[in-house]
Each structure stands twice: as C-alpha cells, then as structure tokens.
C-alpha cells in the first residue's frame, strides 16, 4: 500500500502547531489517481484491521483503522490509517481533527487523502482511506498517549469562532468524551518490554492456598517481567510487584507476589470498593486483573483481590459500561482465591507484603466454553494499588485509565 503524502508528512510529535493548507480544487493527473486509489466501495480484507463502527451524526462512520505500532521510541514512524464510510452528504466545511493527548496535546487536523479529498466532497456509499504519518521526536516525553478523532466545521470556526462538531451518535462501545471526540487508540512512547506473550500449559497441579511453592510459578514470574509506573519507569525494588499466569484444561491461574510495608484494606464484603479507603482517604491495598477474552474491548472482566482475601468482580459490556455499581452484580460462580499476608492487615507494625493465588474456570469467562485454542488472543493487564509508597503501578503501562485495553498485553495459551 502506497503511503500518501499529507499536509503533515513526517511531522514530529513535538511539531509546532500549524494548519493544513486548503485542499486543492484542480488536480494534476497524478493527484487524481491518488484520490481514486483511496476511494473504495467496500473495505478491503486486512488481518490487522481494528473494527470500530462508530457513527458521527448519521453522516460518517469510522469503519476501522490500522496502526503500524503501539509502542514507539525516538526515530520511529507511526502510521495510522483510517477507513471512513460516507453515509450522507454534509453541509459546511467539515474537517477531520485529530488530537494526540499525553502530558500535553498535539493536533493533526487535516482534510482527507492528504488534503486532496475534503469531507464536503465525499459521496454516500464511498469508503475513504485516510492516512496520517507521525515521526517520533527524541524530545517527546515518555509515557502513554491517546489518539482522539472527530469532525469540526472549519468555516464556523473561521468566521465566528464557533466550535461546531459532528456529534458522536453511536460510539459502538468505544470511548468518547463530552467534546464529541472518539478515542481511536493509545500508543506508548518509550522503552518497555514486550507484553505480547505465549503462556505454556502447566503439567503439574496448582494448589490454591496462597503459598506460591509450585515450580510453575517461579518460571512464570520470570516470563511475565516487572511492573511499571504510569509513565513507564520500572518500579523500584522496595515496591516490587510480580505477576504470573499459567493454565490447565479447566482453569486459568493467576498469582501475585507483592512487597508492601503497611497492609491496609478495611473491607470484608465481596464487591466492596477495594481500590479506595473510606471517604476516598487514599488507596487501599489491592491487586487487579483486567481480562478481555475476545480482545475487542467488549465483555471484559475486572477482578480485584485484597490482602484480606476479599474479591471484587465485575463484567463490563464496553468501556466502563455499565457503571461499576451495576457491573459488579456479576460474580464468578467457580472462582477460587487465597491470600497469605506477611504481616498483619489493618494493624500497626512493619509488614512485608502478601501473595495471591487465583483459579478461574474457563467456562466462567464471557464467550469462553473451555480451554482456548492456541490461535485465540486474550487481552489482559494487571495493576496494584497501595496505601504506602507508589499509589498505582501497572504491568503494561496504560496511563490513568485502567479500562483502556489499547496498550494491554496479548496472551496466547499454548496447549
């Protein structure tokens, strides 16, 4: 696929803000050919296509996108390709806006097909391929960054400074905000270990007692690797947290090994707000698992276990939907879990940490009938909240939104 030249060709992520030139109205034969190459009647078959299906005011649908990388370092090129479907002709001079939000915001507003095919010319039924190229500059801050997209009326802004945007009528289960922006994807700038793993099946039994003395666990801890701060720095030894995953034909097994000098968790009832102290007086100690068996951000599980061995489990049909108070009505019917605290929870004195062991029957997971085939990809992430030291750390850094699976790991289970 030929990469289009666009108004923002080879733009660094730290580029100075500048507007695109107005789209040309007289094409050269080469430009006309370029436009024609990127107008289709149907979406091409692609294995790397992320389907979206979001609807902007019944006028435009974001059918899907491809992204050449989700982790980038200085000198890397990021290529994002949108596939838009025109549903109905638009009045006004609408333009595509694109925001890259991290510690600050970089804007990539543009007209389609490299400025050659603005939205006003899109014909109902067309599928338009629209590519944006970004080069990662060495001075760009490490950490997660979110890509948001939408449409604004350039004429309304130019003539009256009115910010007129196409409303997101149906986000198709994807995240939006009150500014009619759609979250397309997240990327991570900086170096973190590969979080796309193949997990071997255990050949020995796992006893769910919180004592991590089975031989499978030590090797699994080494395979999974360390935790990180939200901006991608490895967690210091004093706050070390380890996680491990294994499985057999009946269960998915997860283990945590946590260092903590002050174990605090006042809850005794399942599905309590284990992540926070009463009246939001800081964080309570807890480990968390976010598991998406289909890898599409829908029908995913949030599972938490406290050092007092209390569980919170919830099922979300899409990003933070339904609200957690409704989502927690879901309970794993066959889950088993155990905790061993090295210290005393909610009591004075020097604690050392706690270990957690979890067994989840495959059949309890949404959309899973049994042990998954080797070609099935799960998305998964792990977090730890603490009352002492670092408040929140992640196995795969995703920023402040734990429910964002864009940068979560992919796991394959090898029989």
pLDDT tens track for 348-375: 888 999 999 999 999 999 999 999 998 8
| Domain identity same for 270 and 368 | yes
pLDDT for 18 equals 36
**40: in domain:** yes
| Domain identity same for 146 and 214 | no
Distance, C-alpha 149 to centroid of its chain: 16
Report strand pairing: 196-200 vs 409-414: parallel
**377: in domain:** yes
**3: in domain:** no
For residue 324, say if its preceding peptide bond is cis, omega within 30 degrees of 0: no
- pLDDT bracket for residue 141 (50, 70, 90): confident
Please name which of 105, 112, 1 lies closest in space to residue 62, comparing C-alpha atoms: 112
Cα first-last separation, the chain? 36
Q: What does DSSP assign to residue 29?
A: H
Rounded (10°) CA dihedral 307, 309, 315, 320: -20
271 vs 411: CA distance, rounded Å: 27
| Domain identity same for 43 and 180 | yes
- pTM here is 0.78
| Domain identity same for 104 and 184 | yes
pLDDT (tens digit, 9 = 90+) per residue, 23-80? 555 678 888 899 999 999 888 888 888 889 999 999 999 999 999 988 888 888 999 9
Give me the CATH number covering residue 141.
2.60.40.770
397 vs 139: CA distance, rounded Å: 20
329 vs 50: CA distance, rounded Å: 30
Q: Which of 189, 209, 228 is the last residue of a domain?
A: 189
| Domain identity same for 253 and 383 | yes
63 vs 69: CA distance, rounded Å: 19
Token pair recorded at residue 335: 């889950």
Buried b (16+ CB within 10 A) or exposed e, 324-333: beebbebebe
Which residues does residue 72 pair with via DSSP β-bridges, in sequence order?
189
Contact 40, 129 (CB under 8 A): yes
Q: What is the mean pLDDT of residues 75-90?
A: 94
In this predicted structure, the answer to whether residue 12 has a pLDDT above a threshold of 60 is: no
Token pair recorded at residue 341: 């605290």
In this predicted structure, the answer to whether residue 91 has a pLDDT above a threshold of 90 is: no
Which residues does residue 129 pair with via DSSP β-bridges, in sequence order?
83
166 vs 180: CA distance, rounded Å: 7
- pLDDT bracket for residue 14 (50, 70, 90): very low
Q: What is the mean pLDDT of residues 130-155?
A: 88
pLDDT for 388 equals 74
The residue written with tokens 């925001």 in the block is: 99
pLDDT for 24 equals 53
| Domain identity same for 107 and 185 | yes
Q: Which of 189, 211, 226 is the last residue of a domain?
A: 189
Q: Please tell me the total number of residues recorded for the chain in this structure.
A: 415
Q: What does DSSP assign to residue 113?
A: T
Q: What is the 3-state secondary structure (H, E, C) of 242-310?
A: EEEEEECCCEEEEEEEEECCCCCCCCCCCCCCCCECHHHCCECCEEEEEEECCCCCCCEEEEEECCCCC
| Domain identity same for 249 and 232 | yes
Q: What is the mean pLDDT of residues 73-101?
A: 93
The residue with greater pLDDT, 19 or 116, is 116
Count of CB atoms within 10 A of residue 167's CB? 14
| Domain identity same for 237 and 368 | yes
**155: in domain:** yes
| Domain identity same for 237 and 153 | no
Which of the residue ranges 35-39, 132-136, 209-213 would you say has the lowest mean pLDDT? 132-136
398 vs 355: CA distance, rounded Å: 24
Buried b (16+ CB within 10 A) or exposed e, 58-84: ebbbbbbbbbeebbbebeeebebbbbb
Mapped onto helix, strand or coil, the DSSP state of residue 392 is strand
| Residue-range definition of the domain harbouring residue 288 | 196-414
**273: in domain:** yes
Mapped onto helix, strand or coil, the DSSP state of residue 9 is coil
Tally of domains in the chain = 2
The residue written with tokens 């599409």 in the block is: 296
pLDDT for 9 equals 34
In this predicted structure, the answer to whether residue 133 has a pLDDT above a threshold of 70 is: yes
Written as one string, the DSSP assignment of 354-379 is EEEEEEEEGGGSTT--SSPPTT--EE
Give me the CATH number covering residue 373.
2.60.40.1190
| Domain identity same for 83 and 227 | no
Residues 6+ apart with CB under 8 A from 91: none
Report strand pairing: 71-72 vs 105-107: unpaired
| Domain identity same for 67 and 208 | no
Q: What does DSSP assign to residue 21?
A: P
| Domain identity same for 166 and 230 | no
Q: What is the mean pLDDT of residues 170-192?
A: 90
Helices H / strands E in the chain, number of each: 4, 23
**152: in domain:** yes
152 vs 143: CA distance, rounded Å: 28
**5: in domain:** no
**2: in domain:** no
CA within 13 Å, CB half, 145: 28
Q: What is the mean pLDDT of residues 305-325?
A: 95
Q: Which of 173, 189, 205 is the last residue of a domain?
A: 189
In this predicted structure, the answer to whether residue 303 has a pLDDT above a threshold of 50 is: yes
């Amino acid at each position: 696929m030929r990469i289009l030249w666009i108004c923002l060709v080879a733009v660094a992520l730290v580029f100075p803000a500048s507007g695109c030139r107005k789209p040309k109205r007289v094409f050269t034969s080469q430009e006309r050919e370029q436009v024609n190459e990127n107008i289709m009647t149907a979406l091409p078959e692609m294995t790397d296509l992320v389907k979206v299906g979001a609807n902007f005011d019944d006028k435009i649908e974001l059918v899907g996108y491809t992204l050449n990388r989700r982790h980038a370092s200085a000198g890397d090129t990021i290529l994002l390709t949108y596939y838009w479907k025109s549903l109905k002709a638009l009045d006004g001079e609408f333009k595509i806006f694109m925001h890259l939000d991290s510690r600050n915001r970089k804007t990539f507003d543009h007209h389609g097909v490299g400025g050659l095919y603005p939205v006003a010319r899109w014909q109902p039924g067309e599928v338009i391929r629209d590519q944006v190229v970004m080069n990662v500059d060495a001075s760009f801050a490490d950490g997660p960054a979110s890509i948001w997209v939408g449409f604004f009326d350039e004429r309304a802004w130019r003539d009256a400074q009115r910010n007129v945007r196409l409303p997101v009528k149906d986000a198709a289960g994807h995240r939006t905000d009150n500014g009619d922006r759609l979250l397309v994807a997240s990327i991570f700038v900086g170096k973190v270990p590969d979080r796309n793993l193949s997990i071997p099946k255990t050949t020995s039994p796992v006893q769910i007692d919180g004592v991590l003395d089975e031989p499978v666990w030590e090797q699994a801890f080494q395979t999974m690797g360390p935790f990180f701060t939200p901006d991608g720095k490895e967690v210091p030894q004093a706050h070390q947290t380890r996680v491990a995953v294994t499985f057999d034909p009946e269960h998915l097994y997860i283990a945590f090994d946590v260092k903590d000098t002050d174990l605090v968790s006042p809850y005794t009832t399942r599905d309590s707000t284990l992540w926070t102290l009463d009246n939001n007086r800081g964080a309570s100690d807890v480990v968390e698992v976010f598991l998406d068996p289909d890898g599409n951000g829908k029908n995913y599980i949030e599972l938490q276990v406290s050092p007092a061995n209390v569980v919170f489990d919830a099922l979300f049909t899409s990003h933070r939907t339904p609200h957690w108070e409704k989502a927690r009505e879901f309970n794993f019917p066959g889950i088993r879990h155990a905790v061993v605290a090295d210290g005393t929870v909610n009591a004075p004195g020097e604690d050392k940490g706690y270990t957690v062991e979890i067994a989840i029957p495959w059949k309890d997971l949404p959309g899973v009938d049994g042990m998954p085939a080797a070609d099935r990809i799960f998305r998964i992430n792990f977090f730890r909240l603490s009352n002492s030291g670092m408040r929140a750390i992640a196995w795969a850094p995703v920023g402040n939104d734990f429910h964002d699976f864009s940068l979560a790991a992919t796991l394959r289970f090898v029989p």
